[in-house]
Amino acid sequence: MSRTRTALLAALALVAGASGTALAVAPVDAGIAAVPCTVDYKVQNQWDTGFTAAVTVTNNTTAKSSWSLKWAYAGNQKVTSGWNAKISQSGTAVTAANESYNGTLATGGSVSFGFQGTYSGTNAVPATFTLDGVTCNVDGGTGPTDPPDPGGGTKVDNPYSGAKVYVNPEWSAKAAAEPGGSRISNQPTGVWLDRIAAINGVNGGMGLRAHLDKALEQKGSGELVVQLVIYNLPGRDCAALASNGELGATEIDKYKTQYIDPIAAILADPKYASLRIVNTIEIDSLPNLVTNVSPRATATANCDTMKANGNYIKGVGYALNKLGDAPNVYNYVDAGHHGWIGWDDNFSASVQTIKQAATAEGATVNDVQGFITNTANYSALKEQYFTINDSVGGKSVRESKWVDWNRYTDELSFAQAFRQEAVNQGFASGVGMLIDTSRNGWGGTARPTGPGATTDVDTYVNGGRIDRRIHVGNWCNQSGAGLGERPQASPAAGIDAYVWIKPPGESDGSSSAIANDEGKGFDRMCDPTYTGNPRNNNNMSGALPNAPLSGHWFSAQFQQLMQNAYPAL
């Protein structure tokens, strides 16, 4: 995976070769002195004449109030623009210095920045970096410059880079059958394994092996990513009812032996070694153990039970451990969304909870290739017309009713900050992020074209916000939503891909009670007449009427999503 740092046990230097990995000289005495600093340099995306790169610097010496990182290119690379650092270049020599907001670099602390550049010929990783004149150990380089992974080898840094993504033929057929649906029916979406029966196929539908076989056909001679949703924890979805699962709160052994173990066995089949398999691990689970447990007003009895019995922690840890064994499998753990865990009392605690799971049941942080935000949700990717630092009439945007003291206004800023917090808490410095953009476009006639009036802070935020939900806590079949950014690799710093994990057109839950054998309950948040609960500050639900069970096809929603797509279809 090339995400873990290599500790130098003797002074050495390895010149970057075809693999793009480079280690710089680091003096080590008889007491094995600590490496003074580590630089993780990753080429995230590369095309004929350009590339983007992400750099993370870790300081192992005295805390700093400012910093300057320097390196020199062996080729003709030129930095054209950057973010989170002041970057200048003279000839082959590059200097990246802190911005005013990220100069503090504690002992053991890390800081990340990125840039875009041009090149021709080769794009080798620089062999030596210095932080304030001190030579650092270098980790990284694995990226688009590497030869393709033939399967069974080391994981690539970003599985989406240079790869096509699997188009689920079952979803594609439903989309194509809708008027106008052929415009998006060729988009890749997630394959949801939301019950034990889904492994072999439900009601004559495709099972996991059938999907992987079809993926081999789609792959051809290039690389291909298959996106799976691992979603069947005991006591699943403890804070809601619409997507409750088949397993009771105590059925952890059944989860392990009848669900995870069979999936792991299939993924380990050498037949599928040439596929890059991305697992989205258990959405709507771990953050519930932070936000929806006692003594909080948003607590539910079911979430209290799952926190007490530890089966969310055990289940996710077991899944990470077993599924992460195959070298072509990449695990991304669900990280909620900014409107759920973007507050000061939720943010770091959610990372801590995920790390607890990532080190349970034999798993380690190296079994986590990244995190995913906004899965099956509606949070806007980027709020264009206001920032968290704006103020109106002496009141901060954070004081507005919409933001409500959150630290983030949108998913991109949240995901980038979540990644940095995860690194700070011990996840690998090259860990990546995915953002589900399947339903967060918010286009159409209701989309603002500029900032709101500065009458007061609420008018300013409400007039300019892209996200048109009644409340940021609303999650079920939202009225007015649209398709978001199309799936793409390496779209922004620290982001491995924008993805459509939730297949557009599949319902979040039924708008009235429907008897079923899928273990799915009726959640009032899916009822358009519901007046809310503490989790959405007692606002209307904003849900569409006449919705079917979660996961079932919802034609009216699909048509709305296409109509309000942004970018427009």
Residues marked as catalytic: 284, 508
Q: Which amino acid is at 277?
A: I
What is the DSSP secondary structure assignment for residue 79, as one 8-state letter? E
Tell me the pairing of strands 329-334 and 370-373.
parallel
What angle is formed at CA 59 by the lines to CA 75 and CA 113, rounded to 5 degrees?
Answer: 50
DSSP secondary structure code for residue 553 in this structure: B
Helical residues (DSSP H) of 239-387, grouped into ranges:
252-254, 261-267, 288-291, 301-309, 311-323, 338-341, 347-358
The label of the residue with tokens 């699962």 reads: 245
- At 203, list the tokens: 């009601």
The residue written with tokens 């993805």 in the block is 499
Task: Note whether 117 and 78 are within 8 A (CB).
Answer: yes
The burial class, CB within 10 Å (0-12 / 13-18 / 19+), for 463 is middle
427 by Cβ neighbours in 10 Å (0-12 / 13-18 / 19+) ranks as buried
DSSP output for 439-478: T----STTS-SSPPPTTSHHHHHHHH-S---SSTT--SSB
Between CA 286 and CA 243 the distance in angstroms is: 15
Q: Report the distance separating Cα 439 and Cα 505, nearest Å.
A: 10
Whole-number Å distance between alpha carbons of 474 and 530: 11
Q: How far apart are CA 523 and CA 530, in angstroms?
A: 10
For residue 410, give Cα distances in angstroms to 84, 315, 373. 18, 30, 11
- For the record, the structure tokens of 362 come out as 């034999």
